[in-house]
Structures are given as C-alpha cells and as structure tokens.
Chains A and B, each alone.
Chain A
Amino acid sequence: MKSYVARRLARAVLLLFAVSVLCFLLTRLAPGSFFDEIRLNPQISPQTIAALQARYGLDEPLPLRYGRWARSVARGDFGFSIAYNTPVAQLMWAPAKHTLLLGGVAMLLCWLISIPLAVWSAAYERSWFDRGVSALTSLFISIPEIVLALALLAFAMRSHALPVGGMTSVGFDELTAWGKAVDIARHMLAPVVILVLVGTPVIVRHLRASVAEVLHAPFVEAARGCGIGGARLLFRHVLPAAANPAISLFGLSLAALLSGSLLVEVVTGWPGLGPLILDATLARDLDVVVAAAMLGAAMMIVGNFAADLLLLAADPRIRTGSPDAG
C-alpha cells in the first residue's frame, strides 16, 4: 500500500511537470502578448513597450523564463499576473474558494439526487417512474449546457425570484452569520441548479444501468430468497455491488470540480475562477492561464487517485487481487 501511494505520487509529480512545460510552451508560443492592446495606442511609444516587455522578462529566451516561473512556483507564487500586478496564487485564492464552494455544493446535490433516482428507476424497470426519469435524462443530456444556463438565467431575471450575478447582496457585511449563509445560498441557486441539471442525468444514466445489471444477478435473487427485500436489498446489497462504474464517475466529477463550472460561472457572474480565467486568456495574462491549467491537471490527478482508493475500499476482489475481479 505504501509503495503504491509512493508510486502514484511520483507519477503525479512527473505528470504535473510535463503539463507545466507543455502549458508554458504553448502559451508562450501562441501569438499575441499582454501589451498588444497598448501597442495600438499611438500615444505610447514602442520604446516604452519594449521597456515593459523587458521588465516582465518577456524578451528573454524560453528556458530562462520557464526557470524563473518554476522558482516562483517553488516559492508558492505560481507566477505573476501582469494584469493585476500580483502573484498568481494570491490572485486566484479567493475565486478558487468560490468555485470550490459552488462545485462542491453542486456535486453533493448531484449525487444525493442521482443515487435514489437511479436505484429506484432500476428497481422499477419500465414503470412510469423509470420511463419518466429516462425521458428527462435523455432530454437534459441532449440540451447543451450553455442553452440551459441562458434559459434559466432568463427565467431568473424575468421572475426576479433569484438574484443573478455575484455571490453576495449589497449590505452583506451587516448580516448575521445565518443571514450571510442564506444570502450566499440564494446567489448560488441559479448556477447550482444549472450544474445539477447538467450533472445529474449523466450520473443517473450510468448508475441506473449498473444497478439494473446487478439486480438481475443470481445473488440478488438469492438474497430475495432469504427474505431480504425493499430498500435494504437495494441500498445495502445491490448498490455496493453496482458501485464500481459510479466510483469512476465520482472520480471524474471530482476532477471536474474546479473546471466543470467555469462556463456557468461566466454566464451567471459567479465570482469564481471562470471569469478570472476568461479575462486572463483574452488579455494574454499568461501565468494565470498556466496556473489554471495546472490546477485542472492537479484536480484530475486527485480525482483519479480518490477513485482508485475508493474502488480499493469498495471492491474486495480488487483489494485481494482475485483473478475474477470484475
């Protein structure tokens, strides 16, 4: 187990290094720079721009720039944002927390909703409930996220039922702790609903299929023959045996925790990483872009690792290395 974790860690570090080199190169080799817009301004002389370029080291050879960037990562700064004139880590800290909050709440809700929906619709195969669930999942899987987001946003604006944009109201600081929580929750509602509508159908579809398959297994019949039935049979006997595909999916949704909500954040004005990364990309604030990509890669590694550990915990056949592990 220890050597397994050590091996995984070594691989993760290697992967992150490779990702960083690649991102670094790709962003630096892409055309355009932060000072392109200034260049269009006739009042600023080319000399000034050259001086600025030199100040941020944009005229140095690439390996040197990578080395400087790597040192800044080692310091915990993760590069320097030219646009905000601060270290990237400092800049991204608060939005990352907001994104994590939004993504975490949405993911939790997705699973809390998906598991019973999937299990019950598999248990009542071809019932009206099952048909309804599968029609709705098909519908929401086929609607693009952006359309869903815009539709919900339009609804929220028209009905004035939900605050849209930002994550707090004016006068947030005067509220009690409970009032603050409620205020954030209300602002979060629109993006969370969109994320849940996008995420739930995928989980329901996969989980329903694996639960339905296990329901036909002889051991479920055997348990029924012992008088075990109802919710106990479904959630204690069937669900754990159907969990493997769901756990892989859980790893993926963990990996997408920081990146899955970017679009929704931009559309609903949630002050997370989405708007920040979009601005940084448009403005060629390259270190921010690289840091965001690194964060995404790190989350992917964490998600995969978590899924593997969970699989190990959930399936004794994998744990003890059975030849017929499935």
Chain B
Amino acid sequence: MTHASDLVRVKDLSVSYSAAGQSVPAVKHATFSIGAGEVLGVLGESGSGKSTLALSLARMLPAKARYESGAITFRGRDLLQMSEKQLGAVRGAEIAIIWQDPALALNPVMRVGQQIAEVLRAHGSRDRHERVERVQGVLTEVGFQHPSEVASAYPHQLSGGQRQRVGIAQALCCRPSLVIADEPTSKLDSALQVEILALLAKLRALHNMAYLIISHDPAVFAGWADRMLVMYAGEIVEEGSREQVFGHPLHPYSQGLVRLSGAPAGTPRQLLPVITGEPPDLTRLPRGCAFEPRCPERMKVCAASPPASSTPEANRQVSCFKYE
C-alpha cells in the first residue's frame, strides 16, 4: 500500500547473509511503506528477520549482508544507490536509530553530552555554544531535570533507564523524520519499559516523526502503533492496522502470537512457545509455506508451493492459502 505522503517505500527487498559458506536469506521480497509521522510495528519471533529489515532502512547491515534485490526509497531517494558519504549525511539527521542495549551503544570513555554534541557536529552545527545549548535542550526533552549534570556524566555513571534516555536524545537531537527502534525496551525492567514507551509516544506527537518499532512482545505496540507487519522466516506474512492485526489476525502465525498478547504484559519470551515447534532453519526452508510444519491449520496445498500475498480487506495483506 503506497500513498503520496509515504516517507519510506520498500519494494521487493531481499537481504541475505553469507555465513559459513552458506547464504542465509534473512529478508525475502519485503514490500511495505511508512507514512510521514506513522508508527509501524514489526512483530515476529527471534530470527524472523526484524532487525535485518530495520537496519537495512538505515543501510546499517554488517559487511557480510547482501542486498539481493529491491529498492528502498526514502523521501524520493534510493538508499541502496547512495554512497557511504551520502548515507552519513542521512544517518542521524533524517533516519536515526535507537539501539536495543543502551549499555553497549554509548562510548564508555566519552561524556554523554559530548556524544550527543558529536551528532550535532556531524550534521553541521559549527558553534560549540550552540551545541551545548541544544544538548541541554534535548536532554530536558527526554525527561532529565538536571541536563547539565547528565551531560557531563559518563555512561557507566548512569542507570539503564537513563542511558536509554540518552540514546533517545542522541537519536532525536537532529529531528529525524524516521526513527528506527529495534527492541528499545527489551533490556529494561517492565516499569521502565512503560516509561520509555510513553516518552517515545510523547516525542513522536511533539515532532511528528515516523517510527519503525520492533519487538517480539505484542504489548510494546499497544495503544500507539498505527500499522503492523508480522514477520516469519524473513517474510512479511501479514500487514494491517494495529486494530486489524491484534483484533482479528488472519495468518495462523499472527493468531498464535496475538493469543499471547491477551496475557498480561511482561515475560514475553516464556509465552512465545505457545506456538508449537521451533523457528525454522532459514537455509533449509520447506518448499511450500514456511510456517507449514508448525501450522495448526495446514492444508494439502500448503506443502506444495508458497502462498502468494492477497488482499482480503482494504489496507490489509496476508500470505496464506486460507485467503487465496
């Protein structure tokens, strides 16, 4: 589904990793778009390709990843055709990333204020005083009451929640139009999770940024995601509004995942095995539907060939023979 106001359009994107002489297809034929100011959630089990999909939007995949096919258009420019230098101007300024583990994403020997100022500097802020002021401003914005104290602290002097706030400040300091958040709260305890998600929602309303937010925990999307992608074995198996996907999921895999989200928030990892069976080995996928070995509703056709994507309702897509 593409609209004139789309910020990002991903068309037929396939990404694979070369590992141990083998090619591992991590993302296959992904097509979707993100509108300006929209919150798109990506849900899926571990290894389903969520991070690969998200990082490819910032061209931040490791060297052993290969873009096999497709195009990623961001504000009309194809990211896959950009040079490293051009990407440097986009990253941090127009597309920013909030990392999963704030303890690892910050430089241990640089004051956090300096780390934010470095981003401003990389994107053209030449005046030191201006940078200091903007750092204080953005630290205040992410909820610090004493921004100058925080700015002069080193990462190890801050708590996990504070570090993630700094990470958010760093991502947002240049007012990007797209923020990629890969499991932004999974390293935090549940009270902090709620706080950080509320902060992200508040900032998005304030600055009208689009989010691509990733989690294996459906609770993360509650209340604020506009649309959802559900990924399985590198494929987008279902797409729809949050109400559609969580209200009445179509794909048997989504149905399995969503059944869990009825349970209280927290302890997501333990809940996931309600879908029986193991996540698939990407190098040896079945000929038919990738979910077929685990699907409670599998049919004869499912093992023969993969299902195509269909549109059972407006603004909604699913890849399953039940709807073909």
Q: Nearest chain A CB to B193's CB is how many angstroms away? A: 20
Residue numbers in A under 8 Å from B118 (CB-CB): 223, 226, 228, 232, 236-237
Residue numbers in B under 8 Å from A315 (CB-CB): 109
Q: Nearest chain A CB to B180's CB is how many angstroms away? A: 9
Report if B96 contacts A (CB, 8 A).
Answer: yes
Per-residue interface assignment for chain B, residues 160 to 199, with 1 indicating a CB less than 8 Å from any chain A CB and 0 otherwise: 0000000100110000000000000000000000000000
B154–A317 CB distance below 8 A: yes
> Which residues of chain A from 206 to 245 have a CB within 8 Å of any chain B CB?
217-219, 221-230, 232, 236-237, 240-241, 243
Residue numbers in A under 8 Å from B159 (CB-CB): none
Report if B201 contacts A (CB, 8 A).
Answer: no
Residue numbers in A under 8 Å from B109 (CB-CB): 240-241, 243, 314-317
Nearest 7 CB-CB pairings of A with B: A227-B92, A226-B92, A218-B104, A222-B105, A316-B154, A227-B91, A322-B156
Residue numbers in A under 8 Å from B99 (CB-CB): 218, 222, 225
Per-residue interface assignment for chain A, residues 188 to 219, with 1 indicating a CB less than 8 Å from any chain B CB and 0 otherwise: 00000000000000000000000000000111
A219–B108 CB distance below 8 A: yes
Q: Please, which residue of chain B has its CB at the minimum distance from the CB of A316? A: B154
Q: How large is the interface on A (under 10, 10 to 19, 20 to 34, 35 or more residues)?
A: 20 to 34
Report if B127 contacts A (CB, 8 A).
Answer: no
* Bound Cα distance from A315 to B92, whole angstroms: 27
Report if B143 contacts A (CB, 8 A).
Answer: no
Residue ranges of B at the interface with A (Cβ–Cβ < 8 Å): 58, 60, 84-85, 88-93, 96-97, 99, 101, 104-110, 115, 118-119, 122-123, 154, 156-157, 167, 170-171
Residue numbers in A under 8 Å from B123 (CB-CB): 227
Q: Nearest chain B CB to A117's CB is how many angstroms away? A: 22
* Bound Cα distance from A315 to B60, whole angstroms: 29
Chain A interface mostly helix, strand, loop or mixed?
Answer: helix
Residue numbers in A under 8 Å from B156 (CB-CB): 316-317, 320, 322, 324
Q: Nearest chain A CB to B57's CB is how many angstroms away? A: 11
A228–B105 CB distance below 8 A: no
* Bound Cα distance from A57 to B90, whole angstroms: 81
A229–B88 CB distance below 8 A: yes
Residue numbers in B under 8 Å from A221 (CB-CB): 60
> Which residues of chain A from 256 to 270 have a CB within 8 Å of any chain B CB?
none
B101–A218 CB distance below 8 A: yes
Given contacts A219-B107, A237-B110, A315-B109, whether A224 and B60 have CB atoms under 8 Å apart is yes
* Bound Cα distance from A223 to B156, whole angstroms: 17
Residue numbers in B under 8 Å from A227 (CB-CB): 88-93, 119, 122-123
Residue numbers in B under 8 Å from A237 (CB-CB): 107, 110, 118
> Which residues of chain A from 267 to 318 have a CB within 8 Å of any chain B CB?
314-317
- The 25 sampled A-B contact pairs (Cβ below 8 Å) are A218-B99, A219-B104, A219-B107, A222-B97, A222-B99, A224-B60, A224-B91, A226-B122, A227-B91, A227-B92, A227-B93, A228-B118, A229-B122, A230-B88, A232-B118, A237-B110, A240-B110, A243-B109, A315-B109, A316-B154, A316-B156, A316-B157, A322-B156, A322-B157, A324-B156
A320–B110 CB distance below 8 A: no
Q: Nearest chain B CB to A121's CB is how many angstroms away? A: 17
Taking A225-B99, A226-B92 as given, write out 12 further A-B residue pairs in contact, using a Cβ cutoff of 8 Å, ordered by the A residue number. Answer: A223-B107, A225-B60, A227-B89, A227-B119, A227-B123, A229-B84, A241-B110, A243-B109, A315-B109, A317-B109, A322-B157, A324-B156
Given contacts A222-B106, A240-B109, whether A228 and B122 have CB atoms under 8 Å apart is yes
Q: Nearest chain B CB to A125's CB is how many angstroms away? A: 10
* Bound Cα distance from A243 to B107, whole angstroms: 13
Residue numbers in B under 8 Å from A232 (CB-CB): 118, 122
> Which residues of chain A from 80 to 102 have a CB within 8 Å of any chain B CB?
none
B88–A241 CB distance below 8 A: no
* Bound Cα distance from A277 to B108, whole angstroms: 46
* Bound Cα distance from A217 to B106, whole angstroms: 10
Residue numbers in B under 8 Å from A226 (CB-CB): 91-92, 96-97, 118-119, 122, 170-171
Q: Please, which residue of chain B has its CB at the minimum distance from the CB of A219? A: B107
Q: Nearest chain A CB to B197's CB is how many angstroms away? A: 20
* Bound Cα distance from A59 to B122, whole angstroms: 75
Q: Which of A227, A230, A326 has the largest count of B CB atoms less than 10 A from its CB?
A: A227
Residue numbers in A under 8 Å from B101 (CB-CB): 218
Residue numbers in A under 8 Å from B157 (CB-CB): 316, 320, 322
* Bound Cα distance from A229 to B118, whole angstroms: 11
B106–A219 CB distance below 8 A: yes
